[in-house]
């Protein structure tokens, strides 16, 4: 069964600095999607960034980028120029083709230090 | 504006009461999901639906039930609420075609059973 592992339950970063959140996954599929979701305190879960496994180029969305290493089954999220509004729980997720479910990691709580 | 709605946002109710958590989406999505999440913790899939009259149990056993009579509506019912049901319940939906494998989340219902 597919699994998603986030090894950092909590992280802190100084405002304006860069932080990288780690994620590894296990799968036997060759074609799949990976996501990073953000859940701010008491607010709605939103999609931050998406990566298609067949694309070698790493996805970027403004200050958010990923380092996708398919062979290593690694999918880390880099946040540049961290802002106070980036404080949230971040969930790494894998789209499972066989039953169209998304498998979520346990999350990393990110604190931004002013 | 296309969106996904959940009502109520907060509910405090006594043990033994029957409750229904509402979820509606205006995006025409076929697939809908219910997750249970304790505050700041991981998401657990409890129910999902691939379309009208389709419902399946998720990975986490739940005493709740769901129905899918209309595409846009996916209510969750607890026949007899217990304190162990205290949690946050998140509804999500996703479309049929890629890149819509991503799930769109509602704001959640925070349930407290006293």
> From the CA of A81, how many Å to the nearest CA of chain B?
24
Degrees to nearest 5, angle at CA A58 with A52 and A62: 110
Tell me which chain A residues have a C-beta less than 8 angstroms from the C-beta of B107: 43-44
Gap between the Cα atoms of A21 and B8, Å rounded? 33
State whether A44 and B103 contact (CB < 8 Å).
no
- Give Cβ neighbours of residue A23 (< 8 Å, ≥ 6 apart): A4, A5, A6, A34, A36, A74, A75, A76, A77, A92, A105
At A20, is the pLDDT very low, low, confident or very high (cuts 50, 70, 90)?
very high
Low-confidence ranges of chain B (pLDDT < 70): 1-2, 96-100
Pick from A33, A104, A109: CB nearest B43: A104
> From the CA of B101, how many Å to the nearest CA of chain A?
7
The residues with which B81 forms a beta bridge, in sequence order, are: none
Supply the pLDDT for residue A96. Answer: 80
Q: Are strands A108-113 and A10-14 parallel, antiparallel or unpaired?
A: parallel
The residues with which B92 forms a beta bridge, in sequence order, are: B33, B105
Supply the pLDDT for residue B100. Answer: 52
State whether A95 and B42 contact (CB < 8 Å).
no
């Amino acid at each position: 069964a597919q699994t998603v592992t986030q090894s950092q339950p909590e992280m802190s970063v100084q405002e304006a600095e860069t932080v990288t959140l780690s994620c590894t996954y296990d799968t036997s599929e060759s074609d799949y999607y990976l996501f990073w979701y953000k859940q701010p305190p008491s607010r709605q879960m939103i999609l931050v960034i998406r990566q298609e496994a067949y694309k070698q180029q790493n996805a970027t969305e403004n200050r958010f980028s990923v380092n996708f290493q398919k062979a290593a089954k690694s999918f880390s999220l880099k946040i540049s120029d961290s802002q106070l509004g980036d404080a949230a729980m971040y969930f790494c997720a894998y789209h499972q083709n066989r039953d169209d479910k998304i498998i979520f990691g346990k999350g990393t709580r990110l604190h931004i230090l002013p | 504006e296309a969106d996904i709605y959940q009502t109520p946002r907060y509910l405090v109710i006594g043990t033994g009461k029957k409750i229904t958590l509402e979820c509606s989406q205006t995006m025409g999505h076929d697939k809908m999901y219910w997750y249970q999440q304790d505050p700041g913790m991981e998401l657990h899939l409890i129910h999902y639906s691939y379309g009208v009259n389709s419902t399946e149990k998720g990975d986490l056993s739940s005493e709740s039930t769901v129905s899918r009579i209309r595409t846009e509506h996916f209510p969750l019912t607890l026949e007899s609420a217990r304190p162990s049901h205290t949690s946050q319940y998140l509804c999500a939906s996703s479309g049929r075609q890629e890149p819509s494998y991503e799930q769109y989340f509602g704001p959640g219902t925070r349930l407290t059973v006293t």
